[in-house]
Amino acid sequence: MISVVIPIYNEESLIDELVSQTVFALEATCSDFELLFVNDGSKDNSMGMLLNHQKTDHRIKVINLSRNFGHQAAYTAGIDYMQGDYLVLMDGDLQDPPRLIPEMYQMLQSGEFDVVSGYRKANASNKSRNVATWLFHRLFSKVSELEDVEHIGNFSMMNKAAADALKSLKEKTRYLPGLRHFIGFRTTTISYQRDQREVGDSKMSTWNLISLAFDAIFSFSKLPVRFCLVMGMLGIVVSFLAGIYILASKFLGLSPLGWSSTLTSIFFFGSIQLLFLGVLGEYVFRIYRETQNRPIYLVREFHSKAKVDN
Spatial distance between the Cα atoms of 125 and 140, rounded to a whole number of angstroms: 24
Alpha-carbon distance values, 104 to 6, 65, 201, 280 (Å): 17, 29, 28, 41
**pLDDT at residue 309, as a whole number:** 46
What pTM was estimated for this model as a whole?
0.70
242 found inside a domain: yes
Is residue 246 in some structural domain? yes
Q: Indicate if 182 and 47 belong to the same structural domain.
A: yes
Name the residue range of residue 263's domain. Answer: 223-292
Cα angle, residue 212 at apex, residues 66 and 161 outer, rounded to 5°: 75
What is the average per-residue pLDDT within 59-76? Answer: 91
- Per the structure, how many domains does the chain have? 2
On whether both 173 and 284 belong to a single domain, the answer is no
- Phi, psi (deg, nearest 5) at residue 194: -65, 125
Total Cβ atoms within 10 A of residue 198: 11
Give tens-digit pLDDT for 269-294. Answer: 777 777 777 777 777 777 777 787 88
| pLDDT band for position 198 (cuts 50, 70, 90) | low
* Same-domain check for residues 80 and 102: yes
Q: Is residue 64 part of a domain?
A: yes
26 vs 46: CA distance, rounded Å: 22
Q: Look at 288 and 16; give whichever has higher pLDDT.
A: 16
In this prediction, residue 310 has a pLDDT band, given cuts at 50, 70 and 90, of very low
Tell me, yes or no, whether 129 lies in a domain: no
In a domain, 236, yes or no: yes
Strand 187-193 to strand 86-89: parallel, antiparallel, or no bridges (unpaired)?
Answer: unpaired
What are the DSSP E strand ranges found in 90-139?
Answer: 115-121
Torsion of CA 80, 66, 117, 61, to 10 degrees: 70
Same-domain pairing of 238 and 287: yes
Q: What pLDDT sits at residue 308? A: 46
**Do 23 and 98 share a structural domain?**
yes
- The length of the chain is 310
| Whether residue 269 is found in the same domain as residue 233 | yes
Same domain membership, residue 32 and residue 162? yes
What whole-number distance in Å separates Cα of residue 192 and Cα of residue 224?
A: 33
**Residues 67 and 114 occupy one common structural domain:** yes
On the 0-12 / 13-18 / 19+ scale of CB atoms within 10 A, 180 is buried
Report the pLDDT averaged over residues 103-115: 90
Distance CA 104, CA 117 (A): 9
Residues 157 and 256 reside in one and the same domain: no
C-alpha distances in Å from residue 214, one per residue of 54, 166, 282, 293: 36, 21, 9, 20
Indicate if 199 and 245 belong to the same structural domain.
no
Both 264 and 299 in a single domain? no
Q: How far apart are CA 59 and CA 80, in angstroms?
A: 17
Residue 34 has pLDDT above 90, yes or no: yes
Q: Are 188 and 107 in contact (CB under 8 A)?
A: yes
